[in-house]
Amino acid sequence: MAGNRVGKTESGGGYETVCHATGLYPEWWEGHRFERPIKGLLSGDTGITTRDIIQKKLCGDWDDLGTGLIPGDNLIIEQCTRKQGIPEAYESIAVKHVSGGVSTLKLRSYEQGRKIFQGTEEDWIWFDEECPLDVYEEALIRTMTTHGLTVLTFTPLSGLTELVVSFLESVGEL
């Protein structure tokens, strides 16, 4: 959790997503490295904000795809799938990984509810903005068999929500 307008989305969740999806890590990277393509799930408040924030940061503008954080040579536009009901939105993004395989990043929203997160195994989950506690808990289950990673980028604008309280209790702050 951090202050507002400090770059959490782009330099936090977005940049790390690209490192894991492409396998292109900077020399100084001390965190986990995926040596193979990943299955990722990226989520925001609504389908529209997921498109306008996450998708745009990663892919660039719809009329200029390949100009976002994912290097243009790694974005496989012809393998990306379109989202029904939301113009210029992707359901999934295909990304070339340095190993030769293809990472798949699925785009979801909290408005779809906990059930949209069920039944998959994920290596990487990125929540941009605070999600409901039940969505977060369901997503954690998705990383259990893969020993995957989860990151949240948000400012706790709603105060001591169930999610924020769960984090504070886990570190002994409450």
Helix (H) or strand (E) run with residue 49 in it: helix 47-49
Using one digit for the tens of pLDDT, what is the confidence trace for 108-163? 999 988 888 888 999 999 999 878 888 888 888 998 999 999 888 877 667 777 76
* Percentage of the chain lying above the pLDDT 70 cut: 88
Spatial contact of 82 and 90, defined as CB atoms under 8 Å apart = yes
Res 6: pLDDT: 44
Report the alpha-carbon distance of residue 31 to residue 92 in Å, rounded: 25
Res 112: pLDDT: 86
Using one digit for the tens of pLDDT, what is the confidence trace for 41-91? 999 999 999 999 999 999 999 999 999 999 999 999 999 999 999 999 999
Q: How many residues does the chain have?
A: 174
Report domain extents, the chain: 8-170
Instruction: Report how far apart, in Å, the C-alpha atoms of 146 and of each of 40, 62, 120, 133 are.
Output: 11, 32, 10, 21
What's the whole-model pTM score?
0.87
Instruction: Report how far apart, in Å, the C-alpha atoms of 71 and of each of 31, 44, 45, 112, 139 are.
Output: 21, 22, 25, 29, 27
